[in-house]
Amino acid sequence: MWTINAQERIPEVEALLRKMTLEEKIGQLNLLTPGGGVATGEVVSKNVEAKIKAGQVGGLFGVAGPDKVRVAQELAVKESRLGIPLLIGSDVIHGYKTTYPIPLGLSASWDMDLMKQAAQMAAREATADGINWNFSPMVDISRDPRWGRIAETAGEDPYLGSKTAEAMVKGYQGSDLAAAHTLLACVKHFALYGAAEAGRDYHSVDMSKIKMFNQYLPPYKAAVDAGAASVMTSFNDIDGVPATGNKWLLTDLLRKRWGFDGFVVSDYTSLNEMIAHGLGDLQAVSTLALKAGLDMDMVGEGFLTTLKKSFDEGKVTEAEITDACRRVLEAKYISGLFDDPYRYLDSKRPEKDILTKENRALARKLAAHSFVLLKNHNDMLPLGNKGKIALIGPLADSRENMLGTWAPTGDFNLAVTVLEGFKNVASEANIQYAKGSNISNDPEFAKKVNVFGPRIEVEERSPEALLKEALDLAKTSDVVVTVVGEATEMSGEAASRTDISIPDSQKKLIRALVDTGKPVVLVLMSGRPLTIPEEFELPVAILQVWHPGVEAGNAIADVVFGDYNPSGKLTATWPRNVGQIPIYHSAKNTGRPAPENEEFQKFKSNYLDSPNSPLLPFGYGLSYTTFEYSNLRLNKETIGQGESISVTVTIANTGDYDGEEVVQLYLRDVVRSITPPKRELKGFQKILLKKGERKEVTITLFPDDLKFYNSTLEFVSEPGEFEVFVGTDSDAQLSKTFTLK
């Protein structure tokens, strides 16, 4: 744990603060991006250089590589009056150069060890390139797949989200933040960013405190408890005050209630955006944000340009500025930057640490573990390494769509396409490719998606010609594998969709391929849950692969050809239609629950035109083998407050393959003072079972697992009956009850 005991401040930092002018303190609160690299002439903004020298910059991002970072660091260390080194930030969201699956995919592995390894690898690579601060993990809960940034989350569940948050923070930060291969984590986006109304990015958030505390805040708290060094505010407002200027959020909750001792940075110009939110001019919002508890201002320079004036006018105090500055300096101290500002700048490290064979092997493993087998009609998968395979679809040979959204440090040119992966892994098979369709036929839509370069290419050949070529190939093949879904930038920031189905061009292709009568495997790529009710009804196999990263093709081939038996489980519910959104497994019963059999009943909580149940529940995912659950038992029937209880179940691998299973435990608090969810995830274990093997799995429910935030926001457990469910997904049927005295 790196955090500082506020009572014992760091003497070196205190001594430095005593030497600093007010302007220099304000300078430390300024985070800039020169947009490319400080050392490369043209892209160096003159102002950034001058500001660093003038002591007006606390950190940079968008600068990487030991040599470039050294130039920036030398400006600060050698040419500013006090020589205070810079924080060097970056968005290392799913791997640095060795890009691994998008976070939503990674979370589907439910494998905390693997996630930690992923974060460690990312930290090693990023620090080798001079980065000492990472704008990750993003731990926002999202129950709205229309929101493009659900791709960057661990899904809908606060329990799983908390475990993931902890694993990532520990992976990035290790046990010594001054070590050359660890970096400061930044938990984001605080808070509730994933609950934007109607799934539209940056939209308002309005939520009860009870929902906040029980459903949305736990992962941020888990990250803070794991020792995260910094927190980034979110763009949205909460209770009418934007997070960046929200004192209740940043001071009362984060610092006072949770004891957070690190520093808080705004999101990109989120300070300035408080003007558009309607809270006043730049000086007013900067004052508000500082007083609320914001320490560092990303890009907008509101602090830099107005705080001195506000001080002169008596609107902020020097103590408030000093507090913020102290927190930034303490982070630098803990990173070891005061000891050696160049500690992350070893020019031999990139070659040694980045994109190594081991790292690529890990990325391949992470990808394979993130895939979710949604359907396996006739046990079509895995395929044999033989015969003629038609590999069809706009994503089958599309290098630029393999990494997934927000991989700014990665390079898609290094990605393995599905076609290449198939050829690598299934060398005995005859693999032939046809594109079959465009990702979308709509040039206007393509233009919006292609902001970072071509991701959707609308071919000059007509859709009919594309389709014909594919069908000709399919008809002469033994099996068809079609790789379809979303282009990389169809999810991510400012990439919300109101229709989350597979685009029409590809739907048509799928239907036509199935009509050939050949066995068809859908490899489905997306950054979000999709609505696929029609495709799901088809006699096909469906493997959901998200956006898998740099080893995409190899990992997909590993699973399709059975070198790895898929074990991923959905971490966000897949709705039947967008009208069901928000949809999540831990919903409440209501006073008029719909009947179990989902038959429509008037005056019950249901729809005229859709069942309530999702297409695919949270926690869902198949395997090439089958698992049987039996003999659920508890070690006690009654427990007292503060006691734990063990839940044991027997699981047998009854199929033909070795396989991994995520054993999931859900809990229902039957009666309590505020309406309980029907069930909530409260434990899981991922196990490997050899073919024919049987294992006992025990999951312990600890006292905190029985607690919730009540109407006065105290974290309590209330006496009464609890029902435990254990099984393969959130519809788990085996159940037992116990009583809390």
Chain contacts with ligand NOJ (rule: CB under 6 A): 91, 135, 188, 267-268, 493
- In angstroms, the CA 565 to CA 552 distance is 16
Asked whether 375 and 541 are in contact (CB, 8 A), the reply is yes
* Non-local CB neighbours of 535 within 8 Å, separated by 6+ positions: 502, 507, 510, 522, 542
> Which lies closer to ligand NOJ via its Cβ, residue 91 or residue 295?
91
For residue 577 the two structure tokens come to: 């239609």
> Which lies closer to ligand NOJ via its Cβ, residue 407 or residue 594?
407
To the nearest 5 percent, what fractions of the chain are helix, strand and coil? 35, 20, 45
> Which lies closer to ligand NOJ via its Cβ, residue 267 or residue 486?
267
> Is the dihedral angle over the CA atoms 632, 637, 641, 645 positive or is it negative?
negative
Active-site hit among 129, 140, 267, 295: 267
Element (H, E) at 377: none
Apex CA 737: angle with CA 736 and CA 741, to 5°? Answer: 155
- In angstroms, the CA 690 to CA 650 distance is 14
> Which lies closer to ligand NOJ via its Cβ, residue 268 or residue 722?
268
Closest CB to ligand NOJ: residue number:
135
CB 268 to ligand NOJ: min, Å: 4
> Which lies closer to ligand NOJ via its Cβ, residue 20 or residue 249?
249
CB 91 to ligand NOJ: min, Å: 5
* Identity at 56, one-letter amino acid code: Q
> Edge-to-edge, what's the strand order for the sheet holding 87-90?
263-265, 230-233, 184-190, 133-134, 87-90, 59-61, 30-32, 297-298
- Confirm whether 267 is a catalytic residue: yes
> Which lies closer to ligand NOJ via its Cβ, residue 204 or residue 577?
204
> Is the dihedral angle over the CA atoms 380, 384, 390, 395 positive or is it negative?
positive
- In angstroms, the CA 702 to CA 686 distance is 19
- In angstroms, the CA 393 to CA 503 distance is 12
* Residue 575: CA count within 13 A, CB half-sphere: 19
> Which lies closer to ligand NOJ via its Cβ, residue 405 or residue 717?
405
The residue written with tokens 């809908």 in the block is 156
CB 135 to ligand NOJ: min, Å: 4
* Identity at 90, one-letter amino acid code: S
CB 93 to ligand NOJ: min, Å: 8
> Which lies closer to ligand NOJ via its Cβ, residue 267 or residue 551?
267
**For the stretch 614-637, what's the b/e string if a residue is b when 16 or more beta carbons lie within 10 angstroms of its beta carbon?**
bbbbbbbbbbbbebebeebebeee
* Identity at 322, one-letter amino acid code: T
CB 189 to ligand NOJ: min, Å: 6
- Which residues are catalytic, by number? 267
